[in-house]
A and B are shown apart, each in its own frame.
Chain A
């Protein structure tokens, strides 16, 4: 059983650029959630995808968008990057909607300069 894999592991972008982060969910899981963890903070919910549809969204602006594919993998896209977007982005997959049985990936460390 493979776990959740995220790519890339580290990324440096310039303010104003766009970035795409990728996540492969654990085998058998059909729900993917994305979280942002700023330095010294706990993870904050960005949004969740269930069966390719957005299934809940946190308090993040529309320039944060996502996709889920038929194989349940997912992308997080961030447009017009700001310095405050620098954070660890965590993907978590689970079976069914909701948060039960989350498996987290190791995250993508995004630095915006």
Chain B
């Protein structure tokens, strides 16, 4: 049962344009959401997160939007740069008294075209 879904395995975007990566979840107990970026031969790197009490969080070129009623979140990157080419994972967790685990989606491979 895939509780976190990233339905687009890949996305290509022109440099300078906006990249929008989407993520859906099914578990209503999830209260914290994160995006990770992964380059080949490296571990995932934390990018940005959002708590379920917010609907938007911004950090520089990266903005995450959360729509709890639709159980949907998205990551916006603007403007997109060649260094943004990587696999992006959406992850979610539910508060569990310090025993939280991350549930990851299957990832979206973003390619920025120069």
Does A55 lie within 8 Å of B98, measured CB to CB? yes
Residues on B with beta carbons closer than 8 Å to the beta carbon of A33 = 101-102
| B2 closest partner in A (C-beta) | A42
Does B104 lie within 8 Å of A50, measured CB to CB? no
Does B106 lie within 8 Å of A40, measured CB to CB? yes
A:16-39 near B, CB below 8 Å: 33, 35
- The number of A-B residue pairs with CB atoms under 8 Å apart is 63
The 25 listed contacts between A and B (C-beta, < 8 Å) are A33-B101, A41-B106, A42-B6, A42-B89, A42-B91, A42-B104, A43-B89, A43-B102, A43-B104, A45-B101, A48-B101, A55-B98, A56-B101, A92-B43, A96-B98, A97-B99, A97-B100, A99-B32, A99-B102, A103-B46, A104-B43, A104-B44, A104-B45, A106-B42, A106-B43
Residues on A with beta carbons closer than 8 Å to the beta carbon of B100 = 56, 97-99
CA distance A33 to B93 in the complex (A): 14
| B102 closest partner in A (C-beta) | A99
Interface residues on B, range: 20 to 34
Residues on A with beta carbons closer than 8 Å to the beta carbon of B44 = 43, 90, 104
Query: Is the CB of A107 closer than 8 A to any CB of chain B?
Result: yes
**Secondary structure class of chain A's binding surface, majority of residues:** loop
Does A4 lie within 8 Å of B43, measured CB to CB? yes
Known: A42-B104, A99-B93, A104-B36. 8 other contacts (CB 8 A): A35-B104, A40-B106, A55-B98, A56-B96, A56-B99, A97-B98, A97-B99, A98-B96
